[in-house]
Amino acid sequence: MKTFDIVLIALFAAIFVVLGLIVPIPVPGIAVPISAQNMGIMLAGCIIGAKRGALTLLLILLMVAVGLPILSGGRGGLAVLAGPTAGYIVGWVVGAFVTGYLAEHLVREEQSTPSQYTGFFIASLVGGIAVVYPIGILWYAYYANVSFTTALIGNLPFIPGDIIKAVIASLVARAVLVGYPLLHRTA
């Protein structure tokens, strides 16, 4: 791994931590708040790619495990990794990898602007929602001792916000691709 890769991983970990400073919005009836941090997995995957994006989230997981209060609401520690949001947090690593993998394969510099936006948007939706949600929902259903269907229904309020986050991530990723095309190519 090159120094450039380490710097990007650290940079995106810092961006992820800053997204955690945005106050989480509690959702009645479920112990999982709406936070801006899951947009961080979309951004990391789309901008720095599958491998570096997943390593960024592994670094975040390590920092949470050692007790740093870097998750939304100032949470951190092993208790968080055993609580109701643990599945989502672990799912972030897989989600960042999938987002990056799809972005690397769906987006090319020579494509039209709408095609690039669409590629980043699809990558963000699949990695940030279709991958993270099932992992998080399965854990939450187990943790809360409820059926998968009940946990799934409890997650419905998160979908509109996550779609908006996917739009924002695709806009930012496209802007970075235009401003710094070599970053996408070296992912």
pLDDT tens digit string along 22-55? 877 777 776 667 788 999 999 999 999 999 999 9
Q: What is the mean pLDDT of the chain?
A: 92
- Cα(184)–Cα(176) distance, integer angstroms: 8
Give the pLDDT confidence of 156-174 residue by residue, as tens digits: 888 998 999 999 999 999 9
Q: CA distances (Å), 97 to each of 56, 77, 102, 125, in order?
A: 10, 23, 9, 13
Residue with tokens 């986050």: 165
β-partners of residue 34 are 25
- Could you tell me which residues come within 8 angstroms of residue 66 by beta carbon, excluding any fewer than 6 positions away? none
Which fold, 3-185? Arp2/3 complex 21 kDa subunit ARPC3 (1.10.1760)
pTM of the model: 0.92
Half-sphere exposure of 14 (CA within 13 A, CB side): 6
Share of the chain above pLDDT 90, in %: 76
Long-range contacts of 81-84 (CB under 8 A, 24+ apart): 83/31, 83/143, 84/30, 84/31, 84/32, 84/139, 84/140, 84/143, 84/144
Phi-psi region of 142 (alpha: psi -120 to 50; beta: other; left: phi over 0): alpha
Q: What is the DSSP letter of 131?
A: I
List the domain boundaries for the chain. 3-185
The closest of 41, 169, 140, 168 to 94, measured between CA atoms, is 41
